[in-house]
Amino acid sequence: MKAFIRELQERALAGGTISFGEATRLVAIEDAATGDLLLNAAHEITKRFRPSQPDLCSLINAKSYLCSEDCGFCSQSSRFNTGVKRYPLLSPGEVLRAAKQCEADHIQSFCVVTSGETLNDAEFEQILETFRRLSAATNLRLDGSLGNLTAEQIRKLKEAGMRRFNHNLQCSREFYPRIVTTHSYDERKETLNFLKENGVEICSGGIFGMGETREDRVKFAFELKDYALHCLPINILNPRPGTPLQDQAPIDPFEIVKTVAIFRFIHPQANIKLAGGRELNLGVYFQEKSLRGGANGLVVGGYLTTGGSPLAEDRAMLEHAGFAAHNVEKTCCMERTAIRTPS
């Protein structure tokens, strides 16, 4: 297995990637020593294609708990009684105030997120105005996560200043009907295709630990290969009370870290970020292992409806994992910034 891992590493470093069969062979690794060889190889690929600065994100939950879809993992579905705070789309001024606070704390990227599978016409016009104001009044890199959109809507958002769009596939095509029934996998991929066709940077990832198999996770990684991802966030299920997955058993941390490393072989040039559920499922030890084994970024401070690690802990963890300390400090946000759900 050591020679096999080295062969795949050299191929990736030369600009190639691995096959589905090779990835399934890697995901079958069980022992920690071979797993460490895999992580070390993934880290070499990360160092070749990504800079030493960590890729970090901040989010604002701009429209909360107003989604009619039935995604079984989501606390913002109005079909489930989750107790999450509910509010309509925030005004451009409210979002701008949060963005300016992020900029004051040296945040480089700011993502506007809305619950719901799509925006109505009035909401979309309001979002356009929000991005225009953010673009005019800040120097932030502006991202959106706004559900399914048409090609024309994507074009307008790009003109308004949006540079990257998050649209998670969540899991493999085969597993998807077990967690969502109100929209199809092809609908999700249609928006990704529109983004690709219109030259918008694509951020797309998913969730580990929803009951899927190892093979499902590998299939999911290959579903994303068509999109030349700029960003690939890895969430680990944090079972939310009131959702259909509230009693889902946690996934083994070693399985998570190993799979993130395999994602690096499949997506050598993407920014792979540990996102929601990382603190609960990995702790500091396994997060650091993943940051030395394929991951090169974090979502910091919180996740739409749940909190995150204290900034000081994330900063220390990133520095200990070998990321450039001065960039860690300048890119992270304070806990009072837009990453939190607005009050």
User: Phi-psi bin for 303: left (phi > 0), alpha (psi -120 to 50), beta?
Assistant: beta
Which tens digit of pLDDT belongs to each residue from 163-179?
Answer: 999 999 999 999 999 99
**Residue 336 binned pLDDT confidence (cut-offs 50, 70, 90):** very low
Is there a domain that residue 116 lies in?
no
Is there a domain that residue 64 lies in?
no
**Number of separate domains in the chain:** 1
Structure tokens at 208: 């580990």
Range of the domain at 44: 2-54+147-331
The pLDDT mean for the chain works out to 90
Is there a domain that residue 162 lies in?
yes
Give the strand pairing for 302-303 and 297-299.
unpaired
CATH number for the domain spanning 229: value is 3.20.20.70
Residues 185, 111: Cα–Cα separation, whole Å = 23
The set of residues, in sequence order, having a beta carbon less than 8 Å from that of 249 and lying 6+ positions away, is none
85 and 116 Cβ atoms separated by less than 8 Å: no
- Predicted local confidence at residue 325, as pLDDT: 55
Residues 142, 158: Cα–Cα separation, whole Å = 10
- Predicted local confidence at residue 340, as pLDDT: 36
Is there a domain that residue 102 lies in?
no
- Predicted local confidence at residue 306, as pLDDT: 79
State yes or no: pLDDT of 122 exceeds 50: yes
pTM, whole model, 2 decimals?
0.91
Which tens digit of pLDDT belongs to each residue from 203-248?
Answer: 999 999 999 999 999 999 999 999 999 999 999 999 999 999 999 9
Average pLDDT of the residues in 275-299: 95
Average pLDDT of the residues in 6-15: 97
State yes or no: pLDDT of 105 exceeds 60: yes
Is there a domain that residue 342 lies in?
no
What phi and psi, each to the nearest 5 degrees, are found at residue 113? -120, 135
Is there a domain that residue 271 lies in?
yes
Is there a domain that residue 158 lies in?
yes
Q: Using H for helix, E for strand and C for coil, what is the string for 216-244?
A: HHHHHHHHHHHHCCCEEEEEECCCCCCCC
Is there a domain that residue 192 lies in?
yes
State yes or no: pLDDT of 305 exceeds 90: no
% of the chain residues with pLDDT over 90 = 76
Burial of 151 (0-12, 13-18, 19+ CB in 10 A): middle
